[in-house]
Amino acid sequence: MDENYLLTLAELSLEKDLVRGVSIRGVFALRRSGSTDHILIDDVQYAVLEAFTTRQTVPQMLTQAILAGNQVSLSEFYELILKACRVGILTSAEPSGDPRSAAAGPDRDFPFLSAAAIGFGLVGLTLFTVAALARPPVHLPGWEELLIGWVALSCALSAGALWATVVLKATGARPGDAVIYWKTILPRMRVDLRDVHLRPPSEQFAVAIAHLTPAASLAAFALAAGASWSVVPVCGMLVGLAPHSCVVDAIRLLFGETPRLDTERAFIFSANRLPHRRLRAVLSFDNRPYVLQFLLGVAWILLIFQLGYPLIGLNLVDVVAQPHFLLHILIGSAGTFAGASLLAFLSLALFAAWRRGRRAVVRLARRLGRWRAMMGAVLSEKEIQRVIGDSALFRALAPADRLGLSNKMGIACYHAWEVVYDPSDRQAPISLIARGSARTFHKGSDGRRYPVQPLIEGDLIGAQTLLEPNLPALPVESRTPLITLTLDRRQFEEDILQRLGLQRVERLTHVCSFLRSTPLCRGWNLSAIIRLCELVDIRRLEADSRVASFGMEPIFTIVWSGECEFIRQGASDGLFKAGQHYGEAELLTARPLSVDIITRKPTRLLVVSRSDFLRFVTHNHGVALAIERIASQRLRQPVFPVA
């Protein structure tokens, strides 16, 4: 599944023949007719999918959703789209089936069978519990007994799968294919019972307990008969009744738990698979009936002790009757909880330190690599082609033109803290940084150099006098040992300026270099920055000019140079300087501007209109998530869902 294609270019449509399950506290299963693959969604998410009744791309739909007031976060939105495509609810082909969108599941064929399955299952579990309390196993089995118990448990689980299939079929749901799994510790028959999620909680519990009924009956019979092979089915029942088994999950669902949405677990969207996002998803889900889960867990642990103590010559009643037993249990539980919490905390701390340390090592290695760029260094032809291809300006040329220019370029090397470009030198060549970093600066009245903008690999040096002759050019100094590819100014004008045009060259040279240095775009890929460069409108304003007024349609603005002030209800509400931006929160929430914006110095702004901004954001999901996070931090509340 090509994530980028599905989220940008693919035209998706909603399948016409869908089966919608029973809503359980607002959550229901949805699948395509004829398939057992489904997703668990709520009404808000279903409204998102319904927008694809009209065939359209994800960016088109997301733009409309933002303008109308999006009701899901972007990470949830992208996760929903990908999972709906995976199960066939959204398709890039023509939708098939009858126009019965979200039809209800079929009625039950035999309503009494679910109640009968629950009754048989409870009887089986009761017999197993009574037998475990009355006659627990006291001897470990030999290999012959282990073999008998292994075969018996495999047969019981296979019979349970068949009985659960009959119960599921009686509820009106559609069982999947039966498969015999041989390459497992316990070979048995398995049936795809996922369609049970379309049914009410009571029927889900009936199918889950029906699956364990034969195994519970087998374990109860073996314990009552005092068979030495009873240890194997007993262990199987302990696994089947574990705190997160299907039966226990069905019980919690029956007693008040809300089913977990598919967009909250098992992420397939790349941005959601990051460790911190997964951890946040686990911690944010708090809709479980904790008291019931605690009691079931305690009962399961006591059952393990009851069945395990006799095997080592102890009796649970005698152990519990000992003085200070409860105190020992409390101390042991507190110690276990404290140890587990400390271990989890240390694990998270070590993981965070490892990630930060790894990033620091990568940055240090990159800086050391720049410092290794000494005088007389030679770039290979392959490195030259890579550097040219990584430049926003040269990337706009045809491959044949880039190859021709590479043959005309020279190589220049500089020491650290050396002046690389002096505007007074009218014959200085145009330089492309291949290795190392530099910065523009201006000299203050005290003679000191004050940095203005950093320059990194792929940035150009010395083109300002050609592209912006009306603005004072700034000198450039190296920050590390520097290697550049040089091109004669006349050659630059003939081969680049005349082919691409002055305006486009200025955007790909100076605007792109500036955006790469801002905190907003520092983590973006070069293609997204180039696309933004092509959309911005460069505005030059004098001091005390009005940029925008209260109540007008918002625009996305980045301060290139100068300074702007926010005026809210006649009072100053802060200054925005070079590299800072505003307007993204209003654009994502479809709200008008709530402030007046006035320049306080001669200012250059990069402005993007609402339509261009939304089109750019919706076509770049990584950028969309970053801007959503920034806007949420500015508003001090999540941008989506829109309040």
| Structural domains present in the chain | 3-104 (3.90.930.70), 117-256+289-322 (no CATH), 381-517 (2.60.120.10), 533-635 (2.60.120.10)
- pLDDT given at position 376: 47
Contact (Cβ atoms closer than 8 angstroms) between residue 124 and residue 89: no
- pLDDT given at position 507: 92
Q: Confidence class of residue 305 from pLDDT cuts 50, 70 and 90?
A: confident
- pLDDT given at position 284: 66
Over residues 29-57, the mean pLDDT reads: 91
Q: Which range is least confidently modeled, 316-325, 451-460, 470-479?
A: 316-325
Query: Strands of 482-487's sheet, edge to edge?
Result: 410-414, 482-487, 430-435, 460-461
Q: Which range is least confidently modeled, 105-119, 219-233, 457-471, 600-614?
A: 105-119
Q: CA angle, 389 as apex, 385 and 390 as ends, to 5°?
A: 120
Residue 546 exposure: Cα atoms within 13 Å on the Cβ side: 7
- pLDDT given at position 603: 92
- Greatest mean pLDDT range, 121-125, 181-185, 340-344, 386-390: 121-125
- pLDDT given at position 446: 81
Neighbouring CB atoms inside 10 A of 446's CB total 6
- pLDDT given at position 158: 93
Q: Confidence class of residue 371 from pLDDT cuts 50, 70 and 90?
A: low
- pLDDT given at position 101: 41
Asked whether residue 568 carries a pLDDT value surpassing 90, the answer given is no
What percent of the chain clears pLDDT 90, i.e. is strictly above it? 36
- pLDDT given at position 477: 93
Q: CA angle, 479 as apex, 473 and 485 as ends, to 5°?
A: 70
Over residues 606-624, the mean pLDDT reads: 92
More confident residue, 93 or 222: 222
What token pair was written down for 170?
Answer: 């009686």
- pLDDT given at position 27: 92
Query: Strands of 438-443's sheet, edge to edge?
Result: 419-421, 476-478, 438-443, 449-455
Q: Which range is least confidently modeled, 86-100, 339-353, 368-382, 481-495?
A: 368-382
Q: Which amino acid is at 299?
A: A
Q: Confidence class of residue 103 from pLDDT cuts 50, 70 and 90?
A: very low
DSSP 53-94: GS-EEHHHHHHHHHHH---S-HHHHHHHHHHHHHTTSEESS-
The number of residues in the chain equals 643
DSSP lists the bridge partners of residue 39 as: 30
Asked whether residue 372 carries a pLDDT value surpassing 70, the answer given is no
Largest CA distance in the chain: 102
What percent of the chain clears pLDDT 70, i.e. is strictly above it? 92
For residue 259, say if its preceding peptide bond is cis, omega within 30 degrees of 0: no
Asked whether residue 283 carries a pLDDT value surpassing 70, the answer given is no
Mean pLDDT of the chain: 85
* Tens digit of each residue's pLDDT (9 = 90 or more) over 459-515: 999 988 888 888 888 899 998 888 899 999 999 998 899 999 999 999 999 999 999
- Greatest mean pLDDT range, 10-14, 308-312, 323-327, 367-371: 10-14
Hunting for tokens 């098939």 — which residue is that? 96
Asked whether residue 8 carries a pLDDT value surpassing 50, the answer given is yes
Over residues 81-91, the mean pLDDT reads: 93
pTM, rounded to two decimals: 0.83
Using alpha carbons, list the distances in angstroms from residue 505 to 227, 401, 495, 606: 86, 15, 12, 16
* Tens digit of each residue's pLDDT (9 = 90 or more) over 200-231: 999 999 999 999 999 999 999 999 988 889 99
Q: Confidence class of residue 109 from pLDDT cuts 50, 70 and 90?
A: low
- pLDDT given at position 290: 67
Asked whether residue 429 carries a pLDDT value surpassing 50, the answer given is yes
- pLDDT given at position 287: 55
- pLDDT given at position 282: 67
Residue 350, classed as helix, strand or coil, is helix
Asked whether residue 77 carries a pLDDT value surpassing 90, the answer given is yes
* Tens digit of each residue's pLDDT (9 = 90 or more) over 46-75: 999 999 999 999 999 999 988 888 788 899
- pLDDT given at position 591: 84
Q: Confidence class of residue 307 from pLDDT cuts 50, 70 and 90?
A: confident
- pLDDT given at position 336: 79
More confident residue, 506 or 182: 506
Enter the DSSP assignment of 423.
Answer: T
- pLDDT given at position 623: 93
Over residues 152-178, the mean pLDDT reads: 89
As a three-state string, the secondary structure of 483-537 is EEEEECHHHHHHHHHHHHCHHHHHHHHHHHHHHHHCCCCCCCCHHHHHHHHHHCE
- pLDDT given at position 589: 86
Alpha-carbon gap, residue 215 to 218, rounded angstroms = 5
| Radius of gyration for the alpha carbons in the chain, expressed in angstroms and rounded | 34
